[in-house]
Amino acid sequence: MVTIGRVALVAALTLGAALPAAGQIDSTTRRGVKDPRVAAWQAAVRTHVQAKIDEPLTTVAAWPTDAFDRVLKVVLPDEDAAFLARALVLHTDIALAQRTLPETPPPSGGPVAVVVIDGQRTRTVTRSPHWAVARRIAAELVKQSGPDPAAIVAAWYRASCALMQEWGDLDTLEAQLEAGVALFGRDPVLALQRGTLHQAFGDARLADYARERRALTAMRRNGIGTVASIGGRNASRPDASASGLSASRAELNVAEREFRRALALDPTLHEARIRLAHVLSQLGNDRQAVEVVQPAAEADLPPFSAFYAAMILGRSQEHLGRFAEAGAAYDRAAAHTGGAQSAEIGRSRVALAQGRPAEALTIVTAVTAQGVSPRDDPWTVYFRFHDPDAETLMLAWRERVK
């Protein structure tokens, strides 16, 4: 075991990213390779305080992206579950800090993500390489004996994926989910999250990007390494609408498959039921959507899921021309949220269709007039949030690794 005195570590950290000189460390040789970072990393893992921006975190965060390859190769196979769990915590905290804190930006050369706002690509940003580091650690941890390591890693994947979905960091999420599902192929929550990812890719906000993604994947598969940059919204793309629609349907088909799998693995997973119904409705199958979502709409669910179930039921009933049932569902959705605009617009649609245009106008006026306080409307974020949400899942994971 590499050892390093705490004083030496603190001195090194005080110097920022300066590395301890080889001679200052009593043992840095493992398998014939001398690397002062190995000992520094091990010390950082042991001394980092969970969820704190401390010196071990800031020091390791400042290392170049390629520094971890050798460190992990040398160290990971010999460490125990407790150490690996701590290492997972350190790199998760670094990734979180690099996502949210300006003083700890991700290093250049890391993975790049495209920022899409309202359906349009706006810029690219560098993402933390520490999710990938953490995944390597998770892969070692899950091999350890006993039920805890696997439970810790599964909880980590659920929490981190929910967080990435909440951020809308879908490229990072895709890689994270792929690794998670490879380890836990029968985890219903990961299947739900994978379905939600593809539901988001099928969303109008991301339809163009999803289409480009699919084209890029196809070109790579055919050995074409580069893709011409896609023009802005004014660029001539005569087939954009048709191919965008087709790409959306393809994503929604994948989402449907994943939600069905999640439900097969856990029939009580109501969120998967609601999202499956939403996707079925988007694919034009409202009759089946009603059948699927009805049990969730009748269940006693937390507010987000209860609202979402009522909205999906209302929309599908409306599409089927069952306006009384649609109105009742929208009423429930409005009640769950104290009158979210989306639910009220649904209510106004039903009033209009039932021949009450004055009532329809009164309803929308009440929730859209200037000066009316905007209420949180879960409809605008259904493709980003899960129930339970990322914060709850993250806290549960942190409790597990304490």
Residues 14, 27, 50, 120: which binds other proteins (CB under 8 A)? Answer: 120
The helix (run of H) or strand (run of E) holding residue 116 is: strand 112-117
Q: Which residues pair with 113 in a beta bridge?
A: 125
**Helix axes 240-265 and 207-221, enclosed angle (nearest 10):** 90
**Residue (167 or 379) nearer to other proteins, CB:** 379
* C-alpha atoms less than 13 angstroms from C-alpha of 123 in its C-beta half-sphere: 3
* 46: three-class secondary structure by DSSP: helix
Kindly tell me which of 73 and 319 has the beta carbon lying closer to other proteins: 319
Name the minimum Å distance from CB 244 to other proteins.
8
Closest by CA to 13, choosing from 53, 55, 54, is: 55
For residues 330-366, b (16+ Cβ closer than 10 Å) or e, as one string? bbbbbebbebbbbbbbbbbbbbbeeeeeeebeebbee
**Judged by CB under 8 A, which stretch of 45-53, 57-65, 337-345, 384-392 contacts other proteins?**
337-345
Least separation in angstroms between CB 67 and other proteins:
37
Give me the least distance between CB of 334 and other proteins, in Å please: 12
Residue environment code for 69-98, b if the CB has 16+ CB neighbours within 10 A, otherwise e? eebbebbbeebebebbbbbbbbbbbbbbbb
**Should residue 352 be labelled a site residue for other proteins when binding is judged by CB under 8 A?**
yes
Q: Which of 125, 354, 400, 401 binds other proteins (CB under 8 A)?
A: 354
Q: Which of residues 28, 323, 332, 337 is near other proteins by CB under 8 A?
A: 323
Burial string for 43-56 (b: 16+ CB within 10 Å, else e) reads bbbbbbeeeebbbb
Write out the binding residues for other proteins, residues 364-383 only, by CB under 8 A: 364-365, 368-370, 374, 377, 379-380
Nearer to other proteins, 103 or 118 (CB): 118
- Distance of closest approach, residue 282 Cβ to other proteins, in angstroms: 9
Going residue by residue from 277 to 316, which x/- string records binding to other proteins, judged by CB under 8 A? Answer: ----------------------------------x---x-
Is residue 208 within 8 A of residue 119, CB to CB? The reply is yes
> Under rule CB under 8 A, which residues in 201-240 are in contact with other proteins?
203-205, 208, 233-234, 237, 240
**Nearer to other proteins (CB atom), residue 58 or residue 348:** 348
* H or E stretch covering 150: helix 147-167
Hey, what are 189's tokens? 């929550």
Asked if residue 129 lies in contact with residue 107, where contact means CB atoms within 8 angstroms, the answer is: yes
115 binds other proteins (CB under 8 A): no
At its nearest, how many Å lie between other proteins and the CB of residue 239? 11
Which region among 15-23, 212-220, 297-305, 353-361 touches other proteins (by CB under 8 A)? 353-361
Per CB under 8 A, the list member of 16, 267, 303, 357 interacting with other proteins is 357
Let me know if 214 is exposed, middle or buried by CB neighbors in 10 A (0-12, 13-18, 19+). middle
What tokens does 314 get? 């209302």
Interacting span for other proteins (CB under 8 A) from 29-37, 44-52, 73-81, 118-126: 118-126
Among 107, 110, 346, 388, binds other proteins (CB under 8 A): 346
Query: Stretches 129-137, 171-179, 262-270, 354-362: which one binds other proteins (CB under 8 A)?
Result: 354-362
Of 169 and 187, nearer to other proteins (C-beta) is: 169
CA 330 to CA 324: how far, in whole Å?
10
What are phi and psi for residue 296, nearest 5 degrees? Answer: -70, -40
DSSP secondary structure, 244-261, as one string: HHHHHHHHHHHHHHHHHH
Q: Which stretch binds other proteins (CB under 8 A): 26-34, 64-72, 296-304, 346-354?
A: 346-354
> Binders of other proteins: how many residues, by CB under 8 A?
50
Q: Where does this chain bind other proteins (CB under 8 A)? A: 117-120, 203-205, 208, 233-234, 237, 240-241, 244, 311, 315, 318-324, 341-343, 345-346, 348-349, 352-362, 364-365, 368-370, 374, 377, 379-380
